[in-house]
Structure 1
Amino acid sequence: MATIYDIAKKAGVSVATVSRVLNGVDHPVREETRKRIIDAARELGYRPNKIAKSLAHRRTFTVALLIPSITNNFYTEIAEVIEQKLGEKGYSTYLCNTQRMIEKETQYVDDLIARRVDGVIFSPTRVKPEDNLINAKNLEELRKNGIAVVAFGSHFSNVSQVYINTYEGALQATRYLLELGHKRIGFIDGLEAGTRKSRRRGYMDALRMAGIEIDANLIVSGNLEMDGGYECVRKLMRIEKPPTAIIAVNNLMAIGALKGAKDMGIDVPGELSIIGFDDSKLSEVVEPPLTVVKQPLKEIGDVAVELLMEQIEGENASRMVELKTQLIIRASCSGKK
């Protein structure tokens, strides 16, 4: 196995110069010399000793991404962005999928502390209201052990976080349906401790501003999966005065609602308009293509890595970055007939 001594000999430079170049040390080295060292390392098949690098820098160059689900494309698309950005900065990504089990989140946190990861990008597992307190405790444990933390998907005190204004997204989606003439607008909410607060509030505020009374029969809760949306639309369409339009709080349930409506013989958008949240390639290929409140997934990943690197590099102050949603109009909505 080639060493930095072999590279130094082949490139005709000192071992110290090779070390500076391969470790990315901010030290002036001529570009010609740098290229000669990199070429020599490639030719010799050099593989850096990560353990030695960790000891020298007092870092493991590993960041954990802790998410509730890997089957939801909202998280997988963000994960792809984060993994790529961290790789560009010389960090490996350790993926932790809690499967929406709070006990598993806590186990992962204990494991990450033991592994001495440099940072954690954290999207909390929230199924029951009491899970929020456990989320906060887990974050505090990471920070107490000197691990940089960035959160997305919820609000936490004194933690750097990426905040997506889903309230405005739900408000805009509801107003769009109202402009199309819909007044009976159903709402497929998420888990009790999850997405319901801001998105439901946006939906309800838009109705109130339009002078429409909130009908509790038009609000149902699903499990954030396709089967949840499927069951919810069947429930909504069987009430005495069914909705003419539906908003679902995530993409999977919106697609499930679309399938459920079709299986009931309901024409979308002729008899029922549907709007989803998040967006994905699936939203574009289903029939009809789904109108969605698009969340900026690439920006979420980019900003999360940026905030994490600030902490790893010594910036202690927490910072919140707010990102906005965008209503993408496709073919799943039409005016009330």
Structure 2
Amino acid sequence: MTDTTVRTGAAPTLHDVAREAGVSLATASRVLNGSNRKVAEAYRERVQAAADRLGYTANISAQAIARGTSATVALLVADIADPYFGQIASGVAHAADEAGLIVTIAMTERDPAREVALVRTLRGQRPRGIVLAASRDTASDTDALSAEIAAVQSVGGRIVTLGAALPGTRVVAYENEAGARALAGRLAALGYREAVVLAGPEGLRTSDDRLAGFTQGFADGGGEVTQVVRGSISRDAGYEAMSELLSAGLAPGTLVFGISDVVAIGAISAIRDAGREPGADLAVAGFDDIVTGRDVTPGLTTVHLPLEELGAQALRAAVDPDWTPPEPVSLEVLLRDSTPPRA
């Protein structure tokens, strides 16, 4: 064992560690890159001690070759700027940290071709698992994505979807339609009889499920959805759609359901900018219970999704070989000041 084996300023290599520990390069690699082949404990301790002295950090690509998968998981979201996905990412990241894993995040922008391309690229990095958190268009062709999912699984990775399952994936389920139905029923019970919905593009599974549930629940309570305005799922889309409705004329007491909280928050801003009062004049409700919605004025009525817990569940589904599907997470209607009771 030598006292100094690395050039000043140069990053230590696996060769340096092997020389420092007095073992073969293969033995050092098995210890530090996580090979399934057993190494005597005395050698393992010598290699680890040498790596610590030299400040050696294992090469992730080398680990992936030795183990078949890397110490990473990937999370694909529609838009990282959306707090909904930010809270899911937080749950994934915390659970990954507990498991000693690193999270890579990429955006699909709800583009099916982009999602396929990202999964294909990630496959080459051999992640332990990939979490698909973005909703997808029911009309899109999933054959290409299914082929990539099979390819990831063939090299030891797992694919997890949030909300709706895809063939060959594990799924962490929650019931958008039932949650929206319950919300609509509670709002109808408060005396609302006319509603407009600010929805996502037709065919987007999450939006369509929430729209169907809300429409049915509101009708069951004696109300009617009189108009559906479609756009992207964003704060700006909510603002724009609400501004158009206000320009066309919207009666006081009308209920506005934003298909997500960010859409509803955009609608609240448009109502206020038009000189009208959110809540007392035009009621607004959303879905997701993002943190921002708790702080806007008036407080936003919504359906609570445990987003961080969903993220953590998805991570566990991606890495636990003995994982069993849990029951769909429970959703809770939260009534706040944006939907005061109507006489």
Gaps of 5+ in 1: 10-14
Q: Report which stretch shifted further, 49-58 or 203-212.
A: 49-58
Q: Deviations over 1:209-249 (max 9, x none)?
A: 2244x44x322222111121112223334346565211111
SS at match of 2:333: strand
Q: Please, which of 290, 293, 300 is the counterpart of residue 310 of structure 2?
A: 300
Q: Which residue of 1 aligns with 2:335?
A: 329
Amino acid aligned to 2:207: R
Distance in structure 2 (CA, Å) of the matches to 1:298 and 1:308: 16
Q: Which residue of 1 aligns with 2:197?
A: 187
Is the 1:8–1:18 Cα contact (8 Å) retained in structure 2? no
Distance in structure 1 (CA, Å) of the matches to 2:148 and 2:29: 39
Q: Please, which of 212, 221, 230 is the counterpart of residue 210 of structure 1?
A: 221
SS at match of 2:287: strand
Is the 2:33–2:59 Cα contact (8 Å) retained in structure 1? no
1:234 matched to 2:248: no
Aligned-residue Cα RMSD (Å) equals 3.4
1:97 to partner: Cα distance: 0.9
Is the 2:128–2:318 Cα contact (8 Å) retained in structure 1? no
Normalising by the residue count of structure 1, what TM-score does the alignment of the two structures yield? 0.81
Q: Which residue of 2 aligns with 1:94?
A: 104
- How many residues align? The count is 321
Is the 2:17–2:47 Cα contact (8 Å) retained in structure 1? no
1:170 to partner: Cα distance: 0.8
1:143 matched to 2:150: yes
Distance in structure 1 (CA, Å) of the matches to 2:240 and 2:61: 51
1:297 to partner: Cα distance: 0.7
SS at match of 2:164: coil
1:72 to partner: Cα distance: 0.9
1:69 to partner: Cα distance: 1.1
Query: Aligned in 2, Cα 1:91/1:182: closer, same or farther, shift over 3 Å?
Result: same
Query: Aligned in 2, Cα 1:158/1:142: closer, same or farther, shift over 3 Å?
Result: closer
SS at match of 2:173: strand
Identity within the alignment, %: 24
Distance in structure 2 (CA, Å) of the matches to 1:120 and 1:321: 21
> What does residue range 7-156 of structure 1 map to in structure 2 within 5 Å?
23=34, 42=52, 44-124=54-134, 126=136, 129-131=138-140, 133-134=141-142, 137-145=144-152, 146=154, 147-156=157-166
Distance in structure 2 (CA, Å) of the matches to 1:47 and 1:100: 36
Is the 1:189–1:196 Cα contact (8 Å) retained in structure 2? yes
Distance in structure 2 (CA, Å) of the matches to 1:234 and 1:18: 62
Normalising by the residue count of structure 2, what TM-score does the alignment of the two structures yield? 0.79
SS at match of 2:302: strand
